Structure 1
Amino acid sequence: MYNKTLFTVTLTVGTLIAIASYSWMGMWIGLEINLLSFIPLMTDAKNKMATEAALKYFITQALASTLLLFSLILMSMDLTTSAMVGLGLKLITNTSLLTKMGAAPFHFWFPEVIEGLSWTNSAILLIWQKIAPMALIMFFNITQTYLTLVVITCMMVSGLMGMNQTSLRKILAYSSINHIGWMLSAMWFSETLWILYFLVYSVITASILLIFSSLNIFFLAQLPNAIAYDLPIKLFTMLNFMSLGGLPPFLGFFPKWITIQTLVSSKFFLVSTLMVVMTLLTLYFYIRVVFSAILLGANEMNFHHQRKINKFLMFTLSVVSIVGLVLSTALFNYL
């Protein structure tokens, strides 16, 4: 029996190595350590879906790592004699990193993999596994045209594909793809803005995942019955999804507000307008989750076995997600 704590530490170390390396080969090694540490955490002898998800994740990430290594080797051999070849290698590198984080249109593996994971592993995939690829894309300076296409595609795919989903894990996966688009656009202008957006996204997502993990539910149909007799959980579920959608006066509105302001001040009027309009599509299935949780009553007894979880942490994250806009606005004005 393997030690999950050891693999968790190795997972963290792999990400830190990828971010802190001075060479691309060191960054690639960090990504591989991160990948090979996450696979044992995903597998579960009692759950065939988890094993299938681990296999899908390994194949996809190995393909992306092969593309990344291929482009790095060619760049190190000084084969970029023409601008066209150099641009092609740069696009291959960016594509491999976008595939690793699950950005559209390279998201084909993301919803299928997360469907077989526990909520703990889903949190790792939704939050931690995005850090290294995003940091490397920021170091590599993705081209503006390619970045714009990826951002718009993320908005469209997340909004359209997330509408008819009944699985809470897939809903959060498509929500993550939407936020990847926002974080990539924020990264183009400022590293600090990307860090701010990622921290806010992590807090809101972690609070939602803690609620679902404590209720031990995975599908939308389970939600009304699971929270029918717990008013605080019902309230926090509704408000956290509104915050994740970026509605004021919740914390999730703050990084989108700053990102839109940065885009407009940089004369990207069309891109910012398209991002805002297409993000409204994701609000549809956020509101659908909220309506099913609040308006629908429970017609049967609650047989859901709630897990023991740190409710203080869950309530703290939820309160920060709900009232954080007031604190962050005050801090922003002070700075």
Structure 2
Amino acid sequence: MSNELPTLKANVLYDVFKGADKRVFSQYLHKFIHYNHETLAFLDVHASILGIDPDVELSFETNKYIGAIPLRSPVNGKQIGDLLVYPRFAKERYRFLEMTQLLTLLDEQIEPDYLNSMPLASGPLVQPPQYYDAIKYIQAFQTASRENWQKFRTRECIYDFPKSNTNWQKYILKEHLPENKLMFPVRDNELSTHHLEWQQAKYVFDLAKEELAKPTTPVSFRFKVLDLIKTLAVETYNVQPVPVQKFIIRVSDPLSIKQLKTQGNIFLNRKSKEVSAWRIDIAQLFERYAQYILKRVINRMPARFYSNPKFSAYGDLPAWGMRYLEPDALI
């Protein structure tokens, strides 16, 4: 991520802030910073005004976050576009590809923060990448499919003899017909793998497939799980998907099912959110990556590696003393 973005010259700003008086253009830039103060602070972007009228310029400086925020015009306060901050060496088409590859390598789950702001003008084009969450869910779905996850389900059956759970009220309505005399409606409870929650899991699996099929998903990620998707689709062909907005995680659920539901809720939460201002702490990601590299090196040496150890000091300390220390890595 580049800390200092290219400075916007006056001739460029005139086209963006249409209707602004060029004689006092610096006042409009001050209004622009004031109107967008909250969203710029959310993304930790510092805006500076350089020069004097009419040759005034606007510059931005980023910090540790990547993300997108909506921007308001200083002329009328209406939305004029978005500011997108993405990793420094990212390609134009797949801006978050390298970041997502690191997340996959580290097996880390870093969730974006959202701000209650106006929707982004660019919509889904600048939203955080969802294909990573889709891949994580499909992998969790594969693990859960190996679990013999059975639950009771209720089925409406017809028997030619009465049972303890016969629906007599329903039987009375039709028994006057001779052909229905020996047709007893029964609600059977049986253990099955094709229960409601597994049907809901299949529904989210289908959503994840659709997400990976979008042109915004890098080809390398799509091919990575293509065979797995085909296999799981064949195995669950007879499972009827049932829509769900949120999985309920129960204490009695097996570990693989809890992980499936957790990842499913993350994926569903991302898809249901309106595309507003968001950010991801890229510094946290590269801290984990540095720890990953160090740990791999240390594993080949007669040494031990500790991630984020915590040290506290007690008693009388000088003014320059530190009472708390948490290094990123300790060897």
In terms of fraction of residues, the more strand-rich structure is: 2
- TM-score by length of structure 2 reads 0.27
Higher relative contact order (CA 8 A, sep 6+): 2
Greater gyration radius: 2
